[in-house]
């Protein structure tokens, strides 16, 4: 399969993740959709790395994984903290930061 297939698949997965963020209300699911988008990016990176012929893209993908892990940790920590304070876990309700 030529590389284009992988890239197109990656953009499809990215779009699905984006739609998911816009539609869902639970912060946990939004984070999961974020993971979708990140993984789509990873797929694109690895595909390009295969296209170019050296492994630098794969190293990049590894670092993206690290970053995704950190972000998940912090995001879930936030969700736990919100839950602890008995606030509703709903991004439409959590909107005090506004103009």
Partner 1 sequence: MTATSWAWLVLLLPLLGSIVVSLGFRAIPAPVAGVIGTASIGLAFACAVAALVSLLGEAPDARHHASSLWDYASAGGLEIKLGIYVDQLSAFMMLVVTGVSTLIHLYSFGYMKSDEGYHRFFSYLNFFVFSMLLLVLAGNFALLIVGWAFVGFASYALISFWYRRATATKAGMKAFVINVVGDIGLVLAAFLIFRELGTFEYGEVFAKAPGVFERGEWTVTAICLLLLVGAFAKSAQIPFHTWLPDAMEGPTPVSSLIHAATMVTAGVYLIARTHVLFYLAPTAADIAAFVGLATLLIAGTIAIAQTDLKRVIAYSTMSQIGYMIMGVSIGAYSAGLFHLMTHAFFKALLFMTAGSIISAMANRQDIDRMSGFWKAMRFTSIMLLIGGLALAAFPLTSGFFSKDSILSYAEARGGMYTWMAIGGYVGAFLTAIYTFRLVFRVLPGKPCKEAQTLIDTGRLYHGPPINPATEEEEDTEIGFPGAHHHIAEQSWPMAVAMAVLGFGALFAGLIQVPGVDNVLFGFLDPAFADSPLEAIHPTVGAEWRGLAIGAVISVVGIALTWLLWVARPELPALFRERLRPVYLLCLDKWYFDEAIELLIVRPALAIGRFANGTFERLVVDGLVSGAKETVSGAGGIVRVVQSGFVRSYALLLLAGFAGLALYFLLSSS
Partner 2 sequence: MEAVLFFGAALGALGGAIGVVAMRNPLYSVLALIVHLFALAVLFLLLSSAFVAAAQLVVYAGAVMVLYVFVVAYVGGGEESAWESIPGQQFLAPLLGVALFVELAIAVLASSLLALGTDGPHVSSGFGNPAAIGYLLLEKFLIPFEASSMLLMLAAVGAIVLAGRRPTGAASAGTPREREPAEAAPVGPTGDPA
Residues that bind partner 1 (CB under 8 A): 18, 21-22, 25, 30, 91-92, 94-99
| Residues from 38 through 97 that contact partner 2 (CB under 8 A) | 39, 42-43, 46-47, 49-53, 55-56, 58-59, 61-63, 65-74, 76-81, 83-90, 92-93, 95-96
- Residues 47-53: contacts with CB under 8 Å, at least 24 apart: 47/3, 47/6, 47/7, 47/10, 48/3, 48/7, 50/3, 51/3
> Which sign, positive or negative, has the C-alpha torsion 29, 35, 41, 44?
negative
Site size with partner 2, rule: CB under 8 A: 76
Listed in sequence order, the DSSP H helices in 24-55 are 27-52
Which residue, 62 or 80, is less far from partner 1 as judged by CB? 80
Nearer to partner 1, 66 or 94 (CB): 94
C-beta neighbour count of 55 within 10 angstroms: 13
Shortest reach from residue 99's CB to partner 2, in Å: 14
14 forms part of the interface with partner 2 (CB under 8 A): yes
């Amino acid at each position: 399969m030529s590389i284009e297939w992988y890239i197109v698949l990656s953009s499809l997965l990215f779009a699905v993740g984006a739609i998911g963020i816009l539609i869902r209300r639970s912060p946990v699911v939004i984070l999961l959709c974020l993971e979708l988008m990140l993984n789509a990016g990873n797929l694109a990176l690895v595909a390009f790395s295969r296209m170019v012929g050296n492994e630098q893209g794969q190293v990049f993908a590894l670092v993206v994984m690290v970053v995704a892990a950190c972000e998940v940790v912090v995001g879930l920590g936030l969700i736990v903290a919100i839950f602890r304070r008995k606030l509703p876990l709903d991004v439409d309700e959590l909107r005090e930061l506004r103009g």
